[in-house]
């Protein structure tokens, strides 16, 4: 929940943010559900027996794990893992890695395009 709270504080998305998650207890807990309601975010959970509902989000997690581990990531502790993850996301995945689902643009390019083309 700390990561979600930090994300909301930094980006301050408008109401209706979709939060893709699985049916794990951390995402279905009363505390997290209350946090979603307070921030006006919407949980996007797959329907029972339908793993394709969140396929795009699951693909993203798979890519992260594969690419981070392929780079030889081995962590001595949780803080080191956290720092590597931030470095991977902020300095590679969001700014350099091209994504076929977004027309071979980076997430940063998609976000900038969105902000500069608001009505």
List the chain domain ranges.
Answer: 1-45, 50-118
**Treating both helix axes as pointing N-terminal to C-terminal, what angle do 55-70 and 78-88 enclose, rounded to 10 degrees?**
110
Query: What CA–CA distance (Å, rounded) separates 63 from 78?
Result: 20
Helix (H, G, I), strand (E, B) or coil at 70: helix
pTM greater than the 0.75 cutoff: no
pLDDT per residue as tens digits for the range 68-119: 877 676 788 989 888 888 888 899 989 999 988 889 999 899 989 988 887 6
pLDDT at 24: 74
- Per-residue model confidence as pLDDT tens digits over 53-62: 667 777 777 8
What's CA 94's distance to the chain center, in Å?
11
52/96: higher pLDDT: 96
> Mean pLDDT lowest for which of 3-7, 21-25, 78-82, 108-112?
21-25
């Amino acid at each position: 929940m700390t990561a979600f709270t930090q994300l909301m504080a930094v980006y301050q998305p408008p109401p209706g943010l979709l939060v893709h998650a699985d049916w794990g207890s951390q995402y279905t807990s009363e505390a997290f559900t209350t946090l979603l309601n307070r921030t006006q975010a919407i949980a996007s959970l797959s329907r029972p027996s339908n793993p394709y509902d969140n396929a795009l989000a699951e693909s993203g997690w798979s890519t992260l794990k594969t690419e981070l581990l392929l780079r030889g990531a081995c962590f001595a502790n949780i803080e080191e893992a956290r720092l590597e993850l931030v470095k991977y996301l902020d300095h590679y995945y969001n700014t350099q890695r091209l994504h076929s689902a977004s027309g071979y643009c980076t997430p940063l390019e998609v976000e900038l395009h969105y902000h500069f083309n608001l009505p």
